[in-house]
Amino acid sequence: MSATILVVEDDAIFRELVSTILDNAGYTVATAGDGGQGLRRIQRERFDLVLCDLKMPVRSGLELFRATRGEPAAPLFIFMTAFGRVEEAVAAMKEGAFDFLCKPLRDPASLLDTVARALEQVGLRRMSVSLQQVEQAGLPPEELIFAGRAMEPVRKLVQDVARTQATVLLHGESGTGKELIARMIHLASPRQAAPFVPLNCAAIPENLLESELFGHERGAFTGAVQARRGKFELAQGGTIFLDEVGEMPQLLQAKLLRVLQERVFERLGGTLQIKADVRVVAASNRDLAREVAGKRFREDLFYRLNVFPITLPPLRERLDSVPQLARYFCARFSAASGARRPVGIAPETMALLQRHSWPGNVRELQNVIERGVILSRGEMTPGEIPSELLDGDARGSAGAGVLKQREKQSICQELQKCRGNRRRTAEALGISLRTLQYRLKELGLLVQGDPGGDASAG
């Protein structure tokens, strides 16, 4: 995408000259005839850079600059001024303007050189913001996001579509990581330096969702005391992620369809058309094709969103990823709790984790591990994970009884070798004494009233 530059200048001839030089250099150029028009354009469109005259009617260049400082992703400013007003331009640079140019221009090259230097800084600033977003989001490593054989096709699809501008529709149960995949698509795309803006359509009340999406003008409804940008404006140049798009009311579905078709929208209560230079990634845990058949979702919108569908498998279909995911969450929550070393996972606990069907998917696994880390004192035992993982799946598994019997035999054999010394038995089995005590009790091998760590058992 080429850089977008706004030229704000009340002298029509000079304005046309500057915009022509920039246009011939390959930049996308917009113009405004005074500071008031300039502010309105900045509020409804996204610009990388503003070239602005210092002295203008309605609102001076410096007033325009100051009015934009509180805006998200405010553009850089280069001031253009007559030689006699250089001191004002220097003062503006102290407030954060990038540079200034004297009128009349010395030659086109000096203008283009200054613009190129400014846009280089814009790129560095955006890249810094992008890296901060990744850190703040706490994204796990790529190999973890795509852990498990069932995720290999997903990885390939993400790599293929990321570098395009195609709209993506993610299907998958709650907790399968749809937002993570959306972020991966954004970060691997040409839009990576611009914002990634998520919105959960199911979490916003229906009467507020339109304002959240498209923004509103002052006085558009009771309580709208000032104009406000919506998610589409905040995502300009980047990616908007519409989670649970199947929950969107039909009236808003029609408005979203228009944005996808025409790439323009208006704020609530406004009449000005705003360009939507935004890539859309949508997601749903519903079967949208079935929702279309039931007349609950617009067919034309479904086809606009379903340009490039990706289906995420539930965790029960990629149980081979559970050990890798569980260890990652263990390390993450151990660090967050201030533990001196990460909590480990006992082998029998890991076996239980791999047998569970995980109806809540990766989110459920994350919650289980977080709870276990809080309760654990070094190694996560079966007693530190929810009872349904111990009982529900194990009762329904034909192999669970066999597994338990083998475990009992192994412990008994090791106890005999160690002459009933539990501490040496635990070391031989590669588990903690606490874990061994728990398994002895669970398997009915613990002698009643025997507290000793070295006493005989069984």
Cα angle 147, 148, 153; round to 5: 95
* pLDDT at residue 456 in the model: 38
* pLDDT at residue 402 in the model: 44
Please list, residue by residue across 325-342, b when 16 or more beta carbons sit within 10 angstroms of its beta carbon and e when fewer do. Answer: bbbbbbbbbbeeeebeeb
Q: Are residues 281 and 357 in the same domain?
A: no
- Single out the residue in 96, 131, 166 at which a domain terminates: 131
In sequence order, the β-bridge partners of residue 102 are: 81
Q: Are residues 204 and 308 in the same domain?
A: yes
Q: Whole-prediction pTM value?
A: 0.60
Residues 212 and 234: their CA atoms lie apart, in Å, by: 10
Q: Are residues 70 and 82 in the same domain?
A: yes
Extract the runs of DSSP E, i.e. beta strands, from 285-351: 308-311, 344-345
Q: Are residues 301 and 155 in the same domain?
A: yes
* pLDDT at residue 30 in the model: 92
Residues 389 and 198: their CA atoms lie apart, in Å, by: 33
3 state DSSP class of 28:
strand
- Split into its structural domains, the chain has a count of 4
What is the pLDDT of the chain when averaged over all its residues? 83
* pLDDT at residue 451 in the model: 45
Answer yes or no: is pLDDT of 151 > 70.
Answer: yes
Q: Are residues 92 and 206 in the same domain?
A: no
The verdict on residue 343 lying in a domain is yes
* pLDDT at residue 94 in the model: 82
Mean pLDDT score, 137-159: 85
Structure tokens belonging to residue 103: 């009128």
Structure tokens belonging to residue 46: 């996204």
3 state DSSP class of 295:
coil
Q: What is the residue range of 83's domain? A: 4-131
Q: Could you give the C-alpha distances from 222 to 215, 219, 225, in angstroms and in order?
A: 14, 7, 8
pLDDT digits (tens, 9 = 90+) for 211-242: 999 988 887 777 777 888 899 999 999 999 99
39-48, 55-64, 217-226, range with the lowest pLDDT: 217-226
Structure tokens belonging to residue 108: 């086109």
- Single out the residue in 291, 313, 335 at which a domain terminates: 313
Under the banding of pLDDT at 50, 70 and 90, the label for residue 416 is: confident
pLDDT digits (tens, 9 = 90+) for 250-271: 999 999 999 999 999 999 888 8
* pLDDT at residue 397 in the model: 42
User: Higher model confidence: residue 434 or residue 376?
Assistant: 376
Structure tokens belonging to residue 221: 């409804």
Residue in the block written with tokens 């709790």 = 337
- Single out the residue in 313, 334, 356 at which a domain terminates: 313
Under the banding of pLDDT at 50, 70 and 90, the label for residue 304 is: very high
Structure tokens belonging to residue 451: 């507290």
First CA to last CA across the chain, in angstroms?
A: 73
* pLDDT at residue 343 in the model: 81
Mean pLDDT score, 140-146: 81
